[in-house]
A and B are shown apart, each in its own frame.
Chain A
Amino acid sequence: MERNLMIAGFGGQGVMTMGKLLAQATCDSTDLNVTFFPSYGAAMRGGTANCYVVISDESIGAPSSTSVDDLIVMNEPSLDAFLGNLKENGVLFINSTIVKKKIDRKDVNLVEVPVTEMALDMGDPRVLNVIMLGAYIGYTDVVPTEVVLEGLHHKFKNKPDAIKLNDEAFQKGYEIGINAKKDR
Chain B
Amino acid sequence: MAERVFMKGTEAIAEAAVRAGCRFFAGYPITPQNEIPEYMSRRLPEVGGQFVQGESEVASVNMLFGAASTGIRAMSSSSSTGISLYSEGVSFSASARVPIVYVNVGRGGPGIGAIQPAQQDYNQATKASGNGGFRMIVLAPSSVQECVDMVYEAFDLAAKYENPVLVLTDGVVGTMMEPVILPEMKTDEELASLRKKFEHRAIIGHPVGKQAVCRAGLMGSGQENVNIKAAAMYDDWDCEIRVEEYMMDDAELVIASYGISARICKAVINKLRKEGIKIGMIRPERISPFPYDTFAKLDPKKIKGLLDVEMSIPAQMIWDVKHVLNKDIPVRECLRSGGQLMTNNQVENAVRDLIKEVL
Binding site for B on A (CB under 8 A): 2, 20, 23-24, 27-28, 33-38, 40-41, 58-67
B345 and A23 within 8 A (CB)? no
State which residues 306-359 of B face A: CB under 8 Å: 341-345
User: Which of the residues A2, A34, A41, A63 comes within 8 Å of B115, measured between beta carbons?
Assistant: A41
B179 and A33 within 8 A (CB)? yes
Closest to A52 in B: B176
User: Which of the residues A27, A28, A59 comes within 8 Å of B266, measured between beta carbons?
Assistant: A59
State which residues 197-239 of B face A: CB under 8 Å: none
Q: Could you write out 28 A-B pairs with CB less than 8 Å apart?
A: A23-B177, A24-B6, A24-B177, A27-B178, A28-B6, A33-B178, A33-B179, A34-B179, A35-B177, A36-B6, A36-B177, A37-B175, A38-B175, A40-B171, A40-B175, A58-B270, A59-B263, A59-B266, A60-B263, A60-B267, A61-B267, A62-B341, A62-B344, A63-B176, A64-B343, A65-B343, A65-B345, A67-B345
B145 CB to nearest chain A CB (Å): 11
B176 CB to nearest chain A CB (Å): 4
A41 and B264 within 8 A (CB)? no
Interface status of B116 (Cβ within 8 A of chain A): yes
Interface status of B172 (Cβ within 8 A of chain A): yes
* Bound Cα distance A181, B270 (Å): 31
B177 and A20 within 8 A (CB)? yes
Interface status of B268 (Cβ within 8 A of chain A): yes
* Bound Cα distance A144, B27 (Å): 43
Q: List, in ascending order, chain B residues with CB within 8 A of A35's CB.
A: 176-178
B32 and A65 within 8 A (CB)? no
Q: Which of A33, A59, A64 has the most CB of B within 10 A?
A: A64
Q: Which of B175, B176, B345 has the most CB of A within 10 A?
A: B176
Closest to B144 in A: A35
**1/0 per position for B249-274, CB-CB distance to A under 8 A?**
00000000000000111111010000
Binding site for A on B (CB under 8 A): 4-6, 31-32, 115-116, 171-172, 175-179, 263-268, 270, 341-345
A61 and B179 within 8 A (CB)? no
* Bound Cα distance A34, B281 (Å): 23
A66 and B343 within 8 A (CB)? yes
* Bound Cα distance A67, B265 (Å): 16
B187 CB to nearest chain A CB (Å): 28
* Bound Cα distance A65, B348 (Å): 13
B179 and A66 within 8 A (CB)? no
User: Which of the residues A34, A38, A59, A67 comes within 8 Å of B267, measured between beta carbons?
Assistant: A59
* A34-B178, A35-B177, A66-B345 known; A61 vs B263 contact (CB < 8 Å): yes
A61 and B175 within 8 A (CB)? no
Q: List, in ascending order, chain A residues with CB within 8 A of B176's CB.
A: 35-37, 63
B172 and A27 within 8 A (CB)? no
* Bound Cα distance A66, B336 (Å): 14
* A27-B179, A35-B176 known; A41 vs B345 contact (CB < 8 Å): no
Q: List, in ascending order, chain A residues with CB within 8 A of B345's CB.
A: 65-67
A67 CB to nearest chain B CB (Å): 6
Closest to B8 in A: A36
B343 and A62 within 8 A (CB)? yes
Closest to B269 in A: A61
* A23-B6, A27-B4 known; A63 vs B344 contact (CB < 8 Å): no
